[in-house]
Amino acid sequence: MATMPPNPALDALDVLLGEWTAEVPQFGDAQGRVTIDRLEGGAFLRIRSQPPPPAPTATQLVGLDDSSGLYTVLYYDSRGVSRVYRMSFDGGVWKMWREAPGFDQRFTGTLSADGRGIQAAWEKSLDNEAWEHDFDIFYTKRADG
């Protein structure tokens, strides 16, 4: 089988590649680990998350939809939960969101000027109208990542 070339549509996400620690203040002082790398010779981006408990371990696969210019994220976690998110990354602002009856979600993360930190938060809506803060998450790029 012929090898595919890397997907240039993912180049804007290269700043996210590497090993990160993840802290969720609502979960205490424990740290988790997030690995972001290219998959299938660069055709997709993979995000593997091992956050601090009680959050689930998760894998996300990211690709770009040529027609919309937005990324699509396929999510699966250790609880057996599968979800599809839309994603954008522009000007150092990383966004993911999903619209689902009874449980909308959105994530916004801002990349630090040096590219070694991301301050982010998840929000949720249980009625698809009113939004509430769910939790914060802080990513720090590991020196070896």
pLDDT in tens, 49-69: 998 888 899 999 999 998 998
Identify the residue with better confidence: 33 or 144.
33
Least confident of 3-7, 20-24, 84-88: 3-7
In the predicted structure, residue 1 carries a pLDDT above the cut 70:
no
What pLDDT, on the 0 to 100 scale, is given for residue 117?
Answer: 98
Model-level pTM? 0.92
Q: How would you class 118 by CB atoms within 10 Å of its CB: exposed for 0-12, middle for 13-18, buried for 19 or more? A: buried
91 contacts: CB under 8 Å, gap ≥ 6: none
Q: What is the reported pLDDT for 43?
A: 92
Instruction: List the beta strands (DSSP E) in the chain.
Output: 18-23, 31-39, 44-50, 58-64, 71-77, 82-90, 93-98, 104-111, 117-125, 132-141
pLDDT, tens only, 84-138: 999 999 999 999 999 999 999 999 999 999 999 999 999 999 998 999 999 999 9
